[in-house]
């Protein structure tokens, strides 16, 4: 008699455990299904990046339509020049020349950033390329 009650209790415990495990599995499946479309990058950041790329392409397209077709020559293009109007390219070139000179003289990153209008990454690059090696 006691043995039959013990078996019935064990069977009931196993059924309850299986039901709880099944529920947990469904909840995990729903959670994973909701995350399948996520890439880890917020959607707004991706949209902003695409808008910037689209804007730069529009500027480049406008430049190519304005300029008469001339023989192609090798030209060094800096990243910040692409987004600037043609008249502003002289200012950008001057800023890079000043940054190169300051880097050769041993200026630190903060000076390059404030005096030349460079981002931190640009200032680091200029400093690595043009700073005197000890």
Q: What is the pLDDT of residue 52?
A: 83
Q: Which two tokens stand for residue 9?
A: 């209790």
Is the pTM higher than 0.75? no
Phi then psi dihedrals of residue 42, to 5 deg? -60, 140
pLDDT bucket at 82, cuts 50 / 70 / 90: very low
Model confidence over 10-55: pLDDT tens digits?
Answer: 889 999 998 888 898 888 888 777 665 555 666 777 777 888 888 8
CA neighbor of 96 nearest in space, from 123, 65, 73: 123
Q: What is the mean pLDDT of the chain?
A: 76
């Amino acid at each position: 008699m006691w043995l039959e009650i013990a078996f019935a209790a064990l069977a009931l415990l196993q059924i309850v455990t299986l039901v709880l495990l099944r529920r947990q599995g469904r909840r995990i499946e729903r959670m994973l299904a909701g995350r399948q479309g996520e890439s880890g990058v917020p959607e707004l950041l991706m949209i902003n990046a695409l808008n910037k790329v689209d804007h730069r392409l529009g500027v480049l397209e406008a430049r190519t339509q304005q300029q008469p077709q001339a023989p192609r020559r090798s030209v060094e293009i800096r990243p910040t020049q692409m987004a600037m109007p043609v008249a502003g390219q002289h200012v950008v070139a001057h800023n890079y020349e000043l940054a190169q000179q300051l880097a050769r003289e041993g200026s630190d990153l903060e000076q390059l950033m404030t005096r030349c209008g460079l981002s931190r990454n640009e200032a680091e690059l200029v400093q690595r390329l043009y700073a005197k090696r000890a």
